[in-house]
A and B are shown apart, each in its own frame.
Chain A
Amino acid sequence: MRERLPQGGRIDRSRRVAFTFNGRVYDGYHGDTLASALLAHGVRLTARSFKYHRPRGIVGYGVEEPASLVELLGADASGNEPITTVRIRDGLRAKSVNCWPSLRFDIGGVNQLFARVLPAGFYYKTFKWPDWQLFEPMIRRAAGLARAPTQPPANGHYEARHAHADVFIAGAGPAGLMAALVAGRAGKRVFLADEGTEAGGGLLTRRLRIEDRPAMEWVADAVAELAAMEHVTHLQNASVWAYREHNLMMVTERSPDHDSLLERSWRVRAGRVICATGAIERLLVFPGNDRPGVMLASAAQAYVNRWAVRPGRRAVVFTNNNSAYAVAADMQAAGIEIAAIVDARPQVPPEALAQVAGIDVLGGHVVVRTRGRMSLRSIAISPLAGGATRSIACDLLAHSGGWNPAVHLFSQSRGSLRYDETLAAFVPDIPAQATASVGAAAGLMTLPEVLTSAAATGGDVPRAHEAAYAIAPLWRVQAAGKAFLDIQNDVTVADVQLALREGYDNIEHVKRYTTGGMGIDQGKTGNINIIGTVAQQKGLTLPEVGSTTFRSPYAPVSFGAVGGLRTGEVQFPYRHTPITEWNREQGAVMYEAGARWQRPGYFPQPGESFQETVNRECGAVREAVGVYDGSPLGTFELKGRDTGRFLDFLYTNKMANLKPGHGRYGLMLTDDGLILDDGVALRLDDYRWILSTSTGHADAVNQQMEKLLQTEFPDWQVMVTAVTSQWNNATVCGPRAREVMEALGTDINLDNAAFPFMTFRDGTVAGLPTRVVRVSFTGELSYEINVAPRHMRKLWDRVMAAGAPFGIQPVGSEANHVLRVEKGFLSLGHEVDGTVDPHDLGMGWIMSAKKSDYLGKRAVALRRAADKPRRELVGLLPDDPNAQIPEGAPLTPGGRKEATEGLVTACVWSGVNNRWVALALLVNGRTRQGETVHVRLRDEVIAARVTAPVFYDPGGQRLRS
């Protein structure tokens, strides 16, 4: 560590750390970043640039770093980390991104030879012939910086937390700490988050004093005082990356205090937000400003003061403002020779000069060139007005283009910005939410102002001193050579000039055409120079050019932290019934069946094919008896004296006249006249009803009912309770269902006359309290035995036992599908595909003409008045009884490849008919019975005869038997 200063710095010299960079082992101290540790070893070349593969070094000291990105290897593999934000620890392995085979001999460097034909936007003009896709793979491989992660983190997990605060403070520098002290002392709930490893912000890297003591002592006191307040949450390593609507702040904590925890994300809702985010130093733009050894002045100061590292031996400071003078003084105090301070301002303010007695200050000069192959050896300067250049040998050029208040969060909150001529920077103007900006984030650049603004609401302001800040903007140095506006994306002044010349003169055009400001650093150090360069070129002011939008995140955040623990079943919870366990034991194939229910599709027995299983289950229902778990059907209890009237509005058919003890099938439309749901309404007594709905639309029906009752008919007396999970049912169906019921033992009279179809009875079945409903979705005699969930498994076991002598089979969704198709019962998602009305399905009878109004009535009438041909439900019998038609297959005239005249909605092997049968929607289908139509497949046409959409027991005797 030959460049390590003998003392000082916020590093722990007792803890030595070994790490690997680009295959070489280095050491450093606990508290070092990868950047400070490498600089301590005199490593200057740390990266290659994106487009030209130019050698690059370390430019900044935090998230603003534009040049040096590394990829971490091994267990913590991840890409594109700014070298300045990676803390070293034993075993850390890192490599530079985007270079091959090595950083020093990077093949991509040949691009520098072609630089002349690679101006901004060159790819829009070339690579067109013969085809872009010929060039694309090469371009893609060349782009992309780090390698993509291929494995999830080997150990640990992410989590998310909610928090609430009266005052949320972003940034724990002097402003943030002061604001936190004021709010905390006033008893407010405070949430203070800062991206650094320790509190202090700018005080960490500078030698300032508060109350006549080193400023960091004040910081330590403040941190201790805050820690003692129970109502204050103070996080370091916590990046505030988004400011959302209604003061919702997103924070990612990078190293929470637990080994298994990788990162934690916080969603903090705050009464008031204080942006104490400080300011970011900006680059000066001059030829060769990207050479390793050219560094932001604030970074040079940080390496000297915070990490006790000499970033160079002989330095030149280049500036257009006062802040770099303290940097020169600090470097000199650390034993770095200051060859000169080059200040673009002809008149350097005396308060700046006073800080650097004995150093050669060249006012009115600029740097026009830098030299050195892999790192800086000398620079050339000349008077700003032009004239003779002279060379100065140096290995470090610390430069400062002034400071931009970090307005990112404020701008994300929709606050407007204003250009401040004195600061030559955009500063917060009018807030859009309950937000205040304090300190440097508000454009207050000296410590006394910072503390005063942060203490605005009360409290004593500690005494401090700092030389006044003054700047004369210099957006770019006018000299020949590649001067970089965006170091990460290799965007030069010439690129911006070309964009303007070609008419891409809006700042957004410039950004997109040149890609300036679109890198991982999002142009934190360079965007303002692009705006300044455009302004200069077009003869406009900066506000006239405007600024590009600040978007979240402020700094990159891992998707893992965003997701937290919400994966799999936490993300998509699923619903199941008390029979799920039993289904699994039987080897049922379970799958997602709508509305997040997992249901059994079929119950294969050893050696059976899918079709054999379905045939067996169907056969049982048609010839003997089957049972299925109908619990997922939506169930609602409606109470109140207006329930009948309400149902009459909800359903197309008349419900109010239904008698207690009876049930009725009903169809529900949207007001657009399209089918929303079908189901059965049971009337329990005068004022109590039970509705059952389809599984998939239960939630939509619930919403519809509540919305109507609460917003349209608030004076109607109807109370809706969702009871889907309060009732389970086993539905016993098949010609021997009654015998199974008898075997189960019941006090209900099962005689068909006493308990006919579409009625229900309360009573005991197999010793359990039940409500038994005679509905049928299979076309067979059916008893839907409803019980409380705690009785469901018992009921199921007893049904299986009682049914065994009759050959009872459990029936899955697949067999149910076959059974309903044979009967022509409609299915939401098949026949009902969002376009059909009841008439199309041959259910015109269900549209009450007597009721003056109900949902969808007028719309259906209006639509049908257009007299356009409609697609109507029909049955199809393929000419070849063994020909299966894929569901969804189109019907076309004559089977030609032309516009369709319908589609097959379902096609099943019908055991009772010993053939494939299908349902279809066909233009004018009802008048075309007996016709032959054609299913068009890719290389095949299937002819089929049009029939009525029912293939079994058209009279419905069996379900009434």
Chain B
Amino acid sequence: MLLIPCPFCGPRNESEFAHGGPVRARRPDPDAVSDAAWVEYLTVTPNPQGPVQEHWWHVRGCGTWLTLWRDTTSHDIVKGPDDA
């Protein structure tokens, strides 16, 4: 059970959140990229053995979507939503 720093509510248990997936590249303009680039955008997500930037939704809390950097090898939150 992670302790997730919500920018509004402070540190809260993971059970209050829904995982929102890794942060991906910005959605390209579909008319401006090749098929291959579009497929890569849709299907390839960052999968680092180390810090990954990801979304969490404080769905059973204030409702905010936040992003943080979590180390996939340790669960350590290496950078919270409020960290510069």
Residue of B38, B65, B77 near A710 (CB, 8 A) is B65
A414 and B42 in contact, given A245-B2, A707-B57 (Cβ under 8 angstroms): no
Tell whether, in the assembled complex, residue B3 and residue A671 are in contact, meaning their CB atoms are under 8 Å apart: no
Tell whether, in the assembled complex, residue A246 and residue B29 are in contact, meaning their CB atoms are under 8 Å apart: no
Closest to A432 in B: B74
A672 interface residue (CB < 8 Å to B) = yes
Q: How far is the CB of B59 from chain A (nearest CB, A)?
A: 7
Tell whether, in the assembled complex, residue B30 and residue A853 are in contact, meaning their CB atoms are under 8 Å apart: yes
Residue of A703, A853, A859 near B57 (CB, 8 A) is A703
Q: Given the complex of chains A and B, what is the CA–CA distance between A246 and B74 in angstroms?
A: 10
- In the bound complex, residues from chain A placing their C-beta under 8 Å from that of B20 are 703, 707, 711
Residue of B23, B38, B75, B77 near A858 (CB, 8 A) is B38
Q: How far is the CB of A866 from chain B (nearest CB, A)?
A: 10
Q: Given the complex of chains A and B, what is the CA–CA distance between A864 and B75 in angstroms?
A: 41
Closest to A414 in B: B74
Residue of A248, A703, A853, A865 near B1 (CB, 8 A) is A248
- In the bound complex, residues from chain A placing their C-beta under 8 Å from that of B38 are 858-859, 862
- In the bound complex, residues from chain A placing their C-beta under 8 Å from that of B23 are 711
- In the bound complex, residues from chain B placing their C-beta under 8 Å from that of A671 are 27, 42
B35 interface residue (CB < 8 Å to A) = yes
A706 interface residue (CB < 8 Å to B) = yes
Interface of A is mostly: helix
Q: Given the complex of chains A and B, what is the CA–CA distance between A414 and B74 in angstroms?
A: 8
Residues in B1-33 with C-beta less than 8 Å from chain A: 1-3, 13, 18, 20, 23, 27, 29-31
Tell whether, in the assembled complex, residue B74 and residue A703 are in contact, meaning their CB atoms are under 8 Å apart: no
- In the bound complex, residues from chain A placing their C-beta under 8 Å from that of B18 are 703
A927 interface residue (CB < 8 Å to B) = no
Q: How many residues of A contact B (CB 8 A)?
A: 24
Residues in A680-713 with C-beta less than 8 Å from chain B: 703, 706-707, 710-712
Residues in B39-84 with C-beta less than 8 Å from chain A: 39, 42, 55, 57, 59, 63-65, 67, 74-77
Q: Given the complex of chains A and B, what is the CA–CA distance between A865 and B34 in angstroms?
A: 13
Tell whether, in the assembled complex, residue A710 and residue B31 are in contact, meaning their CB atoms are under 8 Å apart: no
Q: How far is the CB of A701 from chain B (nearest CB, A)?
A: 13
A852 interface residue (CB < 8 Å to B) = yes
Q: Given the complex of chains A and B, what is the CA–CA distance between A852 and B76 in angstroms?
A: 41
A244 interface residue (CB < 8 Å to B) = yes
Tell whether, in the assembled complex, residue B3 and residue A269 are in contact, meaning their CB atoms are under 8 Å apart: yes
Tell whether, in the assembled complex, residue B1 and residue A246 are in contact, meaning their CB atoms are under 8 Å apart: yes
Q: Given the complex of chains A and B, what is the CA–CA distance between A414 and B75 in angstroms?
A: 11
A51 interface residue (CB < 8 Å to B) = no
A857 interface residue (CB < 8 Å to B) = yes
Q: Given the complex of chains A and B, what is the CA–CA distance between A703 and B20 in angstroms?
A: 9
Residues in A242-260 with C-beta less than 8 Å from chain B: 244-248
Tell whether, in the assembled complex, residue A707 and residue B65 are in contact, meaning their CB atoms are under 8 Å apart: yes
Tell whether, in the assembled complex, residue A862 and residue B1 are in contact, meaning their CB atoms are under 8 Å apart: no
Closest to B65 in A: A710
What are 30 A-B interface contacts by the 8 Å CB criterion? Answer: A244-B1, A245-B1, A245-B2, A245-B74, A246-B2, A246-B3, A246-B77, A248-B3, A269-B3, A414-B74, A672-B42, A703-B59, A706-B63, A707-B20, A707-B65, A710-B64, A710-B65, A711-B20, A711-B23, A711-B55, A711-B65, A711-B67, A712-B27, A852-B31, A853-B29, A857-B30, A858-B30, A862-B35, A862-B38, A862-B39
Q: Which A positions have Cβ atoms within 8 angstroms of B? A: 244-248, 267, 269, 414, 432, 671-672, 703, 706-707, 710-712, 852-853, 857-859, 862, 865
Q: Which B positions have Cβ atoms within 8 angstroms of A? A: 1-3, 13, 18, 20, 23, 27, 29-31, 35, 38-39, 42, 55, 57, 59, 63-65, 67, 74-77
The 7 closest A-B pairs by CB, nearest first: A710-B65, A245-B75, A858-B30, A246-B3, A853-B30, A248-B1, A711-B65
